[in-house]
């Protein structure tokens, strides 16, 4: 059905959504889900039609109380093989603890999200409030792609980063419709490529999103590659911190497109790549080799099974090396920033 509606026109999709509104009195991300894969022009036209009717898409939350959270956790761990460790650890698992934390957040409605930009004292405060108030929404979006080989916590982190980037654009019109489309696109990329995701702390992810967005803005306005100093001034972070985050982005980024695009991404004279390799040189040999192979710094990116076969390690040992290596790099970045 999703594939069929991908080619729908804006008016056809709008008519279907109006039927849903008449039946329920509200429009949610559940209703717009089948249309998130529409072509860009059709999706923008659909957004315009909804705006004309003053209709906003409300975020559909996966749970709202502790009982719902417990059911969510049980259903997830029962149905998703990759959540085996969470199922065994139960209430001591990072997943369960994260879900408990989300119960303490105050989810934003569509109208509240639109008002954030008007009431927040500055842009940074607005972005932070939107992000925190939308964490349950991101979890719900990520849940739709769970059970396909990637941990829900990792999917949720990716969804949160996309939402932060959406918030950084400053577009307040129907925020959750636009955020849902952006998250949907990222989840589809992960699903198609089955890219292993390496988790980074929330604070690190927020700073990384600021740097990426500032870099894109400067690149678009100047038509040239911005310097770390210019990115730092644009996003309000220290220059050394920006350098570390740009290097981290090189580590976390996957080459896009065909193999023909790889040589440019791996240009040995690329300052970001040189910085990434410099950071890896401070790690134990195994962790450095695993990270380099995983992120394709010297060739085609490899999954844990391929890395394990090449280095004589089990997939579990590869994952452990990945997490230890990234943690060391993150601690190194914080020390240098201090």
pLDDT of residue 177: 93
Q: What is the average pLDDT across 203-226? A: 74
The owner of tokens 């985050």 is 245
Would you list the domain boundaries of the chain? 2-52, 66-193, 271-338
Q: What is the pLDDT of residue 290?
A: 83
Q: How much is the average pLDDT of 69-78?
A: 94
Judged by phi (left if over 0) then psi (alpha if -120 to 50, else beta), residue 63 lies in beta
How many C-beta atoms surround the C-beta of residue 310 within 10 A?
13
Quick one: CATH architecture of 271-338?
Orthogonal Bundle (1.10)
Q: What is the pLDDT of residue 261?
A: 34
- Tell me what pLDDT residue 205 has: 64
Maximum distance among all Cα pairs of the chain, rounded to whole angstroms: 62
More confident call, 74 vs 301: 74
Q: Is the pLDDT assigned to residue 182 strictly greater than 70?
A: yes
Residue with tokens 């992810």: 205
Which position has the higher pLDDT, 159 or 315?
159
Report the range out of 65-79, 232-246, 281-295 with the highest average pLDDT: 65-79
* Residues 274-326 pLDDT 10s: 666 677 777 888 888 888 777 666 556 677 777 877 777 887 788 888 778 87
Mean pLDDT along residues 54-69? 93
| Residue 35 β-bridge partners | none
Task: Give tens-digit pLDDT for 86-104.
Answer: 888 888 888 999 999 999 9
244-261: per-residue pLDDT in tens? Answer: 777 766 555 544 333 333
């Amino acid at each position: 059905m999703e594939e069929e509606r991908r080619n729908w026109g804006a008016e056809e999709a709008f008519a279907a959504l109006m039927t849903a509104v008449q039946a329920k009195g509200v429009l949610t991300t559940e209703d717009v889900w089948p249309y998130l894969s529409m072509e860009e022009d059709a999706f923008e036209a659909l957004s315009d039609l909804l705006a004309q009717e003053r209709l906003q898409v409300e975020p559909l939350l996966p749970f709202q109380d502790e009982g719902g959270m417990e059911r969510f956790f049980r259903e997830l761990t029962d149905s998703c093989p990759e959540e085996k460790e969470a199922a065994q650890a139960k209430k001591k698992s990072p997943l369960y603890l994260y879900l408990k934390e989300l119960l303490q957040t105050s989810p934003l409605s569509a109208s509240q999200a639109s008002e954030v930009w008007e009431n927040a004292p500055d842009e940074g405060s607005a972005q932070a409030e939107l992000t925190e108030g939308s964490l349950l929404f991101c979890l719900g979006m990520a849940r739709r792609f769970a059970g396909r080989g990637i941990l829900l916590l990792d999917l949720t982190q990716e969804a949160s980063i996309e939402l932060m980037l959406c918030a950084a654009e400053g577009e307040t019109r129907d925020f959750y419709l636009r955020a849902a489309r952006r998250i949907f696109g990222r989840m589809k990329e992960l699903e198609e490529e089955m890219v292993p995701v390496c988790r980074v702390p929330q604070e690190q992810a927020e700073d990384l999103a600021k740097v990426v967005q500032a870099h894109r803005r400067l690149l678009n306005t100047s038509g040239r590659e911005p310097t770390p100093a210019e990115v730092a001034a644009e996003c309000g972070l220290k220059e050394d911190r920006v350098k570390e985050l740009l290097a981290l982005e090189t580590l976390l980024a996957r080459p896009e497109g065909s193999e023909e695009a790889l040589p440019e991404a791996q240009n040995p004279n690329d300052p970001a790549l040189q910085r990434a390799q410099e950071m890896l040189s401070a790690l134990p040999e195994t962790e450095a080799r695993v990270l380099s192979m995983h992120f394709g710094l010297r060739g085609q990116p490899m999954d844990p099974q391929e890395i394990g076969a090449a280095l004589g390690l089990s997939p579990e040992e590869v994952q452990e090396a990945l997490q230890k290596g990234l943690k060391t790099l993150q601690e190194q970045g914080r020390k240098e920033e201090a």
